[in-house]
Structure 1
Amino acid sequence: MNLVKKTLLLAVLMVFAFSSVVFALNQEVYPIKGKHKGGDVTPKEAYKMLRKDPKNTFIVDVRTRTEYQDIGHPIGAYNIPWKFYTTKVGKKGYKKVLNKNFCNDLKARFNPETDTLLMMCRSAARTIASTTAAVDCGFKADKVFNLLGGFEGDKVKDKNSPFYGQRMIGGWRLEGLPWTYKMDKNLIYQPDLKK
């Protein structure tokens, strides 16, 4: 085998090996956290979907109103909370209650026949339930997605890391995708505007 063929073969093998490592790393950063009735997308995949069909693709930020406002949110994300904070305090802080109007809130903003929903929370845990809820209330399963990693990503689990316990693994914000603190009245939780 001459030198050119060997070099070409080595280059192909290196590309294959690098691609496998990148795929494995992506799976590690964005693990599937549970079963639901929709699909799963990474933040970058979600961003591509938004850019490809901005008239019918929407991020639904299911975090609380406080998280949406104080931690920030993707530009253009609609806030429809999956749960609300209560005034009752438990062992882990303020308790939350399910948004009983979640399905109606979705249908008031989006078309179940044509719209693609990218469900997002802090780290993609609440979106498992909210993705299934969106499908159960009439949105097509192939058009509802759990945004893996959420807005903030997962916590560092290495106890030896100076970042242990901090949300620094994956997520919309850490991927460097567009986000803001700006509160647009067209995007915030609409029932609040009627109070």
Structure 2
Amino acid sequence: MRKRMIAGVVFALIAASGFAGITTAWGEATEESASQRVTLQLPSEKQTTLGLYVTAKEAYEKWKAEPDTIKLIDVRTPEEYLFVGHPTMAWKIPFAMQVYEWDAEKKQFPMKPLPDFVSRVSEVAKPDDTIMVMCRSGSRSAMAVNLLAKAGFTRVYNITDGMEGDAVKDSNSVFVGQRLVNGWKNSGLPWTYQLTPDRMVLPKDR
């Protein structure tokens, strides 16, 4: 009985003096481990130096909870806003512009980063704001996040599935290669073809 009482007192002292701190440390470790797991599952081109990630669905839910403080930035081109559509609430701030010189090696028209991207983002957001960045499918936005991080922004999330989502990989599907897996448009989230000039911060010189 006496041993039980002593053990109880010792446990109570431990709890009072630092058990809460241990619990917090465990919580942080668990959160960090979850972030590491997400990073390991992502293709390298979607990973960022900040290691902050959300899906399109998660980004929308976060924005709905705090629409006045969380900023959603769509870094695609004006052509994409016009012909593919864009989230109604997003700031449209292109990270790169289309170059119409065919790259035979990559078999595509490449994009050229815009030198004033960070300064344009700074017109609508501060370095400590929570920002979620979107492109077509998560790669361009990762580059944008890294550039913002280098400029001192600390809470910038990459929306890993972007506006259109990932491509169908099933070779037996008639939709193989088409971007119909996840993404903002495929998740039933609000978007429009109508341009919103009041939320567009385009490059000053092209």
TM over 0.5: yes
Q: Which residue is 2:182 aligned to? A: 170
Bigger radius of gyration:
2
Could you say what secondary structure the match of 2:99 adopts? strand
> Which of 183, 187, 191 is residue 199 of structure 2 equivalent to?
187
Aligned to 1:11: none
Distance in structure 2 (CA, Å) of the matches to 1:167 and 1:106:
27
Aligned residue number for residue 29 of structure 2: none
Q: What residue in structure 2 maps to residue 76 of structure 1?
A: 89
Counterpart check, 1:100 vs 2:120: no
The aligned residue for residue 135 of structure 1 is 149
Residues 65, 189 of structure 1: 8 Å contact kept: no
Count of matched residue positions in the alignment of Structure 1 and Structure 2? 163
Counterparts in 2 of 1:107 and 1:72: CA distance versus 1, 3 Å: same
Q: Please say if residues 33 and 124 of structure 1, whose CA atoms lie closer than 8 Å, have aligned partners that are also in contact.
A: no
Give the share of equivalent positions with the same residue, in percent. Answer: 34
Q: TM-score, normalised by structure 2?
A: 0.73
1:169 Cα shift?
0.5
Q: CA offsets per residue over residues 134-172 of structure 1, 9 Å max, x none?
A: 1111211xx210002100001111111111111111001
Q: Distance in 1 between matches of 2:165 and 2:59?
A: 15
Q: Secondary structure at the match of 1:118?
A: strand
Matched with 2:134 is 120
Structural RMSD (CA): 2.1
Q: Deviations over 1:81-119 (max 9, x none)?
A: 121112323333433211111111111121223x21111
After TM superposition, the runs of 4+ consecutive aligned structure 1 residues lying more than 4 A away are: none
Residue range with higher mean Cα deviation, 33-42 or 50-59: 33-42
Contact 2:114–2:203 (8 Å) recurs in 1: no
* Counterpart code for 1:171: G
Q: Distance in 2 between matches of 1:33 and 1:146?
A: 13
Distance in 2 (alpha carbons) for counterparts of 1:156 and 1:104 = 36
More helix by share: 2
